[in-house]
Amino acid sequence: MNVRTMLIVCSLALLTGIQACAQNKRAGDEIIGDWFGKSKCTGNNSSCHDEVVVYHFTRAKSDPDKLHLAADKVVNGKPELMGEFDFVYDAEKKTLTTEFTIPRTGGKGVWLFNVNGDKIDGTLTLLPENEIGRRVTVERKKT
């Protein structure tokens, strides 16, 4: 069901008092929000630094079936934007993936995250070497 159809169905349901729209969640809704953790360097890249990170997941504006990540690193107690990516979420495998061009080098990279409840673990694989460049572990902030 596309977004427009879902809005029409939900509007009609609200007018008639039907509670059906609560069941029209989208794949990945449980990931949307803020996640906190660490991003650790691997391999022999001397310019890489371990970081404390904050990940902000939302729906991608360009494609609402994707999830958008705005990734911050924390420097001197303040967030600094590292990058933004749109991810494909596979609800069956519970994975988030994206391939992108690394601005500094022009090389390619692939982020692969595994979602397990309130924890996400992942890796950045550098291509074409197939070398793991980072390992990330983030958790949803407990309220």
* Residue 16 parent element (H or E): helix 3-16
What are the DSSP calls for 53-82, one per residue? EEEEEEE-SS-TTSEEEEEEEEETTEEEEE
CA dihedral for 45, 124, 126, 107, sign (positive or negative) = negative
Architecture of domain 32-140: Beta Barrel (2.40)
User: What contacts 45, CB < 8 A, 6 or more positions away?
Assistant: 133
pLDDT tens series, the chain, 143 aa: 545 555 455 565 555 555 545 556 888 999 999 999 999 999 887 678 999 999 999 999 999 899 999 999 999 999 999 999 999 999 999 999 999 998 888 889 999 999 999 999 999 999 998 999 999 999 997 65
Q: Domain ranges in the chain? A: 1-25, 32-140
